[in-house]
Amino acid sequence: MSEEVHLRTCHLCESMCGLEVTVEDDRVLRIRPDKEDVWSRGYICPKGTMLGELHHDPDRLRSPVVKGEDGEFREVSWEEAFRVAAEKIQAVTANHGMQALHTYIGNPAAHNFSLQRYIAAFMPMSGIESVWSPGTVDQWPKNVSSALMLGDAWRIPAPDVDRCDFLLVVGANPHASQGSLLAASDLLGRLDAIQDRGGEVVVVDPRRTGTCDHATEWVPIRPGTDAALMMAMCHVIFREGLESLGNLEGKVDGLDRMKELAKAWSPERVESTCGIPEADIERLARSLAGADHGAVYARIGTCNQEFGTLASWLTDVLNVITGNMDREGGAMFGNPIAWSLLNLPDPQYAEGFSFGRWKSRVSGYPEVLGQFPVSCLAEEIATPGEGQIKGLVIIAGNPVISSPGGDKLEEVLPDLECIVALDLYINETTCHADVIFPALSPFEQPHYDELIWSWAIRSGGNFSPPVFEPPEGSYAEWQTLLMLAAICQGADPGSVDIGQIDDLFYGGLVAGLVQMPGFALEGREPAEIVEMSNHHGPMRMLDFQIRTGPWGDIYGKESDGLTLEDLMAAPHGLDLGPMVPRIDEVLRTPSGDLELAPEYITNDLNRLAERIERAEPDLVLVSRRDVRSNNSWMHNLPKLVAGRNRCTLLIHPDDAERCSVVHDEITQIRSRSGCIEVVAEVTEEMMPGVVCLPHGWGHDRPGARLEVAARHAGVNSNHLSPGDFVDEISGNQAVNGIPVEVSPI
Ligand SMILES: Nc1nc2c(c(=O)[nH]1)N[C@H]1C(S)=C(S)[C@@H](COP(=O)(O)OP(=O)(O)OC[C@H]3O[C@@H](n4cnc5c(=O)[nH]c(N)nc54)[C@H](O)[C@@H]3O)O[C@H]1N2
Ligand SMILES: Nc1nc2c(c(=O)[nH]1)N[C@H]1C(S)=C(S)[C@@H](COP(=O)(O)OP(=O)(O)OC[C@H]3O[C@@H](n4cnc5c(=O)[nH]c(N)nc54)[C@H](O)[C@@H]3O)O[C@H]1N2
Ligand code: SF4
Ligand SMILES: [Mo]
């Protein structure tokens, strides 16, 4: 057989790199960057080149597995797996009611062609009301701030890195992550370009990360104090009369309130808390306000901490009051070819968001955007009584590793009466399942990013057809989800017609949207729209998202408009230019204005005021990522985990000396929730007083089928994350800034 080349977008992260995948028969021979990809232009990282290894990984599930009486998994037919899932799920709903069945939806769902579209079908159709997710160890604070400021939890401004000349990067490390809530391939190259054109990039981070090599300056900050820094920057901007609303003049509520609040937060007041001298805070504020095109970009270091919502909110406050919000070179809003289902108006947006509509049963956490801190999952399973969780559907997740207190979750998962999982692997969490349905290999399914383009610095899209046919008789994840939805509703899997359920979902969506004021299809006949599609499943959804998007053909209304076929005819992708100002389309607040000082958030400044009075612990822990790792997975690919041990404790030489810790030796690290042992790496890249561990490791658990990962097990840093250490107003877990003690063993 001869070699064939397939073009593909890497789905692993927000960089969305174009790949050239060379295959022979059913083997992937090599993966190279697609230099002609209009978006990534030849950029790639080591993970993208390893997708062939993922495809061929012997541990990757190829058929459903069911756990026997002996506790061992055995491969079964799809029919049998669905039958067992139905038995288990329906026993839970019959004996305990629907409210005893919950779902956990993990991160890869945001990057998967089927899942990102069909979770929107699975949730309402299954009748499952309770969702847990790593969103509360991630961007929940940003969702809260966007909900209240903009009226849309998923509208997140992205810094226009290609046109700005002052960029403040706070708590983000694109050197490892490649950008998050910010899609821009080769982000580090773009940071270099800012400096090449005479601009500045300043990185605020407790660690001198690889990103600092692409910045003008590193400003070390004590974890969890970003909100204090940013309040002080606001203080300076107002005190010196540097504020301007720019394009947003007349569209902002709460400016006077913001000025009032900032008065109390002088740089002098916060300098010792943040560990940043007053003069530096003033300089940063002036540089941002004085830049022709400035932007503040903040990410997970500012979310996964005690004051995540305040910091996320202040990031945008700074962008607004320096006139940089929604203007070229500032913080702007992406405009994808195919819009995201997550931007459908939340039913709450008309009357304004409110939180705490219900409380968690055991610890009494208020719900925020429908979820509780993910660490509560364990106690909700363990604690008997009305409303106890009895069954779980786990979709693309690994909370035993990824969530704070995952060790407690691991203990109680076996108590559940039913766990049904959908995953590529038998991982540390899915090993507790009764049934695991395999996801298709990424190469066996089409791909098109849905959510990620929402914060991409250019408008565009790229459709990837599958490289290989899926195994005969297998189900794509969207089909599995629809089947599981029907099972949750009591159906006998043998009599379920998936195509029919899909039509019902799609028809319902279209019928709802034609009635939505302002939607591209407002007033159209739903049956006519449904008839006009040649696709089904996620392809039909994607076609719909493109056709009703900003460049779409609006189902015949715009003769030159785009459809999925146009994307299919452009294998290197379509580029429709940089972001453009569009605040009027974005704002969905009840007032119609951008809310600069939402009371729900500003009330939390009292908690911050208490924090800055508190004595500082000697040592606190923060998290990190590595370019060769992806949260808790991709660790089973020998070539990717090869080389030096990446699961080490980074510690500053002064702290190492004080704690008698020796480089390269095993060290004990203890927090109030746990204790682990890990090799120390003494390095000046940490600021004194802060140590750092990666998350996503600890592959030494019995039951998982990850042979390579087990040999590079590492330790689970989340054993040190106290479940009750949260950003109170978002319910997001604080995994950064955890007080710890380090000692030799
Ligand atoms: N201490 C600490 N903890 C953290 C973080 C931190 O910074 N510090 N970060 C948090 C963040 S931001 C996140 S997003 C979470 C991640 O937390 P999770 O989403 O719970 O975990 P992942 O490691 O992403 O695991 C994903 C699982 O999905 C599977 N998978 C991959 N692709 C697919 C697919 O296409 N289909 C299906 N069905 N399954 C698939 C993988 O095999 C893997 O088992 O971790 C969080 N935990
Ligand atoms: N290679 C790779 N890429 C990934 C992932 C991965 O696991 N591996 N995960 C993906 C996911 S799910 C996400 S959410 C994104 C996250 O993307 P990023 O937000 O860029 O994540 P990190 O690389 O963890 O960088 C966070 C930085 O915050 C710093 N930090 C910690 N605490 C504080 C604090 O209190 N204040 C400040 N200012 N900084 C602090 C840390 O030192 C770290 O350098 O990455 C995505 N991309
Ligand atoms: S940066 Fe790496 S993981 Fe991310 S999309 Fe590109 S190749 Fe894939
Ligand atoms: Mo994440």
Ligand 1 center to residue 109 CA distance, Å? 9
104 pairs with which residues across the strands? 132, 394
How many whole angstroms separate alpha carbon 268 and alpha carbon 612?
Answer: 12
User: Ligand 3 in contact with 10 (CB < 6 A)?
Assistant: yes
Separation in Å, CA 558 to CA 167, 278, 460, 530, 551:
39, 56, 18, 17, 9
User: Ligand 3 in contact with 15 (CB < 6 A)?
Assistant: yes
Asked if 686 contacts 650 with a C-beta cutoff of 8 angstroms, the reply is yes
Ligand 4 center to residue 402 CA distance, Å? 10
User: Ligand 3 in contact with 48 (CB < 6 A)?
Assistant: yes
295 pairs with which residues across the strands? 167
How many whole angstroms separate alpha carbon 548 and alpha carbon 591?
Answer: 26
Amino acid at 475: Y
State whether the Cα torsion 331-337-340-341 is positive or negative: positive
9 alpha carbon, closest ligand: 3
Ligand 1 center to residue 287 CA distance, Å? 37
How many whole angstroms separate alpha carbon 665 and alpha carbon 645?
Answer: 12
Count of beta carbons in the 10 Å neighbourhood of residue 579: 26
Ligand 1 center to residue 501 CA distance, Å? 29
Atom number, ligand 2, closest to the C-alpha of residue 692: 42
Pocket probe for ligand 2: among 44, 401, 625, the residue whose CB has the most ligand atoms within 8 Å is: 625
Asked if 125 contacts 501 with a C-beta cutoff of 8 angstroms, the reply is yes
625 alpha carbon, closest ligand: 2
Count of beta carbons in the 10 Å neighbourhood of residue 739: 16
Pocket probe for ligand 2: among 180, 305, 318, 616, the residue whose CB has the most ligand atoms within 8 Å is: 180
Asked if 649 contacts 742 with a C-beta cutoff of 8 angstroms, the reply is yes
Angle between helix 308-321 and helix 255-262 axes, rounded to 10 deg: 120
The structure tokens listed for 710 are 């087990």
Count of beta carbons in the 10 Å neighbourhood of residue 198: 7
Of 355, 313, 346, which Cα lies nearest the Cα of 598? 313
Of 107, 124, 121, 136, which Cα lies nearest the Cα of 11? 107
Question: Look-up: residue for tokens 């779409």?
Answer: 552
Asked if 553 contacts 559 with a C-beta cutoff of 8 angstroms, the reply is yes
Ligand 2 center to residue 303 CA distance, Å? 10
Asked if 51 contacts 39 with a C-beta cutoff of 8 angstroms, the reply is no
Question: Look-up: residue for tokens 């609303």?
Answer: 245
Pocket probe for ligand 2: among 217, 300, 627, 692, the residue whose CB has the most ligand atoms within 8 Å is: 300
Ligand 2 center to residue 304 CA distance, Å? 9
Amino acid at 332: M
Work out whether strand 732-733 and strand 726-727 pair parallel, antiparallel, or are unpaired: antiparallel
Give the strand order in the sheet containing 666-671: 738-739, 620-624, 690-694, 649-651, 674-682, 666-671, 741-744
Measured CA angle at 396 (ends 393, 401), to 5 deg: 95
Pocket probe for ligand 2: among 45, 111, 188, 205, the residue whose CB has the most ligand atoms within 8 Å is: 205
Pocket probe for ligand 3: among 8, 12, 32, the residue whose CB has the most ligand atoms within 8 Å is: 12
Count of beta carbons in the 10 Å neighbourhood of residue 414: 11
The structure tokens listed for 217 are 């300056």
How many whole angstroms separate alpha carbon 667 and alpha carbon 644?
Answer: 18
pLDDT of amino acid 1: 66
Work out whether strand 65-67 and strand 690-694 pair parallel, antiparallel, or are unpaired: unpaired
Nearest CA to ligand 1 atom 28: 396
Amino acid at 370: G
Ligand 4 center to residue 245 CA distance, Å? 32
Q: Got the DSSP string for 538-571?
A: HHHHHHHHHHTSTTB-TTTTSTT-B-HHHHHT-T
The structure tokens listed for 484 are 């599981």
The enclosing H or E element of 602 equals helix 599-602
735 alpha carbon, closest ligand: 1
Count of beta carbons in the 10 Å neighbourhood of residue 742: 22
Residue 522: is it exposed, middle or buried by C-beta count within 10 angstroms (0-12/13-18/19+)?
Answer: exposed
| Ligand 1 shell residues, CB under 6 Å | 106-108, 112, 134, 137-138, 300, 304, 395-399, 402, 422-425, 427, 439, 477, 623, 631-633, 695-696, 717-718, 721, 735
pLDDT tens string 6-31: 999 999 999 999 999 999 999 999 99
211 alpha carbon, closest ligand: 2
Work out whether strand 649-651 and strand 738-739 pair parallel, antiparallel, or are unpaired: unpaired
pTM over 0.95? The answer is yes
* DSSP secondary structure letter of residue 244: B
Q: In terms of C-beta distances under 8 Å and separation of at least 24 residues, what long-range contacts does 87-90 make, across chains too? A: 88/391, 88/417, 88/418, 88/420, 88/434, 88/435, 89/391, 89/393, 89/418, 89/420, 89/484, 89/487, 89/488, 90/487, 90/490
Nearest CA to ligand 2 atom 2: 177
Q: pLDDT below 50 — which residues of the chain? A: none
> Domains in the chain and their CATH numbers?
4-56 (3.30.200.210), 140-337 (3.40.228.10), 497-572 (no CATH), 617-744 (2.40.40.20)
How many whole angstroms separate alpha carbon 472 and alpha carbon 126?
Answer: 27
Of 333, 541, 372, which Cα lies nearest the Cα of 453? 333
Ligand 3 center to residue 508 CA distance, Å? 35
Q: Residue 129 region, left (φ>0) first, then alpha (ψ -120 to 50), else beta?
A: alpha
Q: For residues 148-181, b (16+ Cβ closer than 10 Å) or e, as one string?
A: bbbbbbbbbbbbbbbbbbbbbbbbbbbbbbbbbb
Angle between helix 498-513 and helix 113-126 axes, rounded to 10 deg: 90
